[in-house]
Amino acid sequence: MNHCDVILTYCWNRVGYTILRSLTNKGLKVWVADTSKKNICSKSKFCAGSFTYPDPFTEEEKFIETLKDKIVELQPKVLMPTHDESVVIMRHRDEFPDELIIPYMDADTLLMLANNAESTFFAKRVGVAVPNIYSSVDAVKEYPVVFKTVIGNSAKGVYFPKNKTELLKLMKKHKNEETLLQEWIGGCDYSVDCVRWNGFCKMSVYKALITKTYGGGTTTQREIVDMPQLENEAKKFLEAVDFNGVCGLDFRYDPHKNKIAYIETNARFTGGLATPVVAGFDIPWVIYKLATEGKYDEAINVKIGVKTKWILGDIITLIGRILKLKWNTQELKRLFSFKGFDAFDDFCQDDKTAILGEFRYYFEKLIKNGKLNP
């Protein structure tokens, strides 16, 4: 029988690849699944097998039926969603076998956390520092501001208008969508990656060194830092939610004003997952052990200063900067550099061809959609 230990979904990108490498290196047999046949995970030598499914967001019922059939065939112990398809899966939790472990919270909680407005107002209610929220254009005292749709990821739907005219144009463009208007916070982006499970709680923090878009969003270079004040804010939020699972909380921190501000919660694995994993906090393995055995007894020592780089992400960032004529010499040097990094999101020496699957996926999406951000 062709059985496996884990099925991973949404495996076209570097996050799924990090999880695949982590669990396979621990001796688990892992199958990967996605809407695409060719991607970084299906190309990897760590992949025990792969299959495709219909789009979870446009063909929900067919997606669920495909998963149900594959679970019967492969008999995994764990189904591990890696991105926002987790909401769809948890909405149908009762259609899957009771013994199948899916280490996520209920769909309603996931939806609340994914909604930037709801999660921000929740954070404010429980005493977590948030940027000032403006109720109208007239309430804005200073530009730039942050204007964003309440649902989005990878900086999609996030804008930083520099004046009232730009803001009004954006409001008109998104007049049929729910949006949020907030104060702009200087400084840098930070992500607090966390595993919280039935009394267990462990966190690590990484700082964004380069993001694909100016002002924040998807990171392409990061560094593990010691920021207990951010961990404390994250703990306050997660305790109030009574969160169980894997998540990443994004913050801005302005060192000049010593100001912390909550940005959003990703109730799933984060885009910079490789960073804590390389630093000693093997998040996929930790959540697997907790979900299957109820405990995790191994020591976790997070190494401060670990740096990681997403190779293709830096290439996309470089192209974007050049096309918009926005760059500086120091940043260009960092984008071209391969020195000083402890690991790469999408490349390792013992699996050299997997990155070709990533390049192919992005190229096909570029040809189809005309965008470098799938």
DSSP string, 236-270: HHHHHHT--EEEEEEEEEETTTTEEEEEEEESS--
Q: Does domain 186-309+311-344 have CATH number 2.30.30.30?
A: no
**Terminal-to-terminal C-alpha distance of the chain:** 36
Give the three-class secondary structure for 361.
helix
pLDDT at 215: 63
pLDDT at 372: 67
Residue 220 backbone phi and psi in degrees, to 5 = -115, -20
Please give the DSSP secondary-structure letter assigned to residue 212.
E
Q: Does domain 132-183 have CATH number 3.30.1490?
A: yes
Helices (H), the chain: 14-25, 60-74, 85-91, 107-114, 116-125, 164-173, 228-241, 274-279, 283-293, 311-323, 329-336, 354-369
Q: Would the CA dihedral through 277, 281, 287, 288 be positive or negative?
A: positive
The burial of 74, by beta-carbon neighbours within 10 Å (0-12 exposed, 13-18 middle, 19 or more buried), is given as buried
Residues of the chain within CATH 3.30.470.20 domain(s) are 186-309+311-344
- How far is residue 286's CA from residue 337's CA, in Å, rounded to a whole number? 32
pLDDT at 33: 98
pLDDT at 39: 95
pLDDT at 55: 97
Residues of the chain within CATH 3.30.1490 domain(s) are 132-183
Task: Report, in this order, helix, strand and coil percent for the chain, each rounded to 5.
Answer: 35, 25, 40
The burial of 237, by beta-carbon neighbours within 10 Å (0-12 exposed, 13-18 middle, 19 or more buried), is given as buried
Give the three-class secondary structure for 325.
coil
Q: In which residue ranges of the chain is pLDDT below 70?
A: 1, 153-155, 214-216, 372, 374
Contact predicate 280/298, CB 8 Å:
no
Classified by CATH at the fold level, domain 6-102 comes out as: Rossmann fold (3.40.50)
Residues of the chain within CATH 3.40.50.720 domain(s) are 6-102
pLDDT at 181: 94
Residue 31 backbone phi and psi in degrees, to 5 = -100, 145
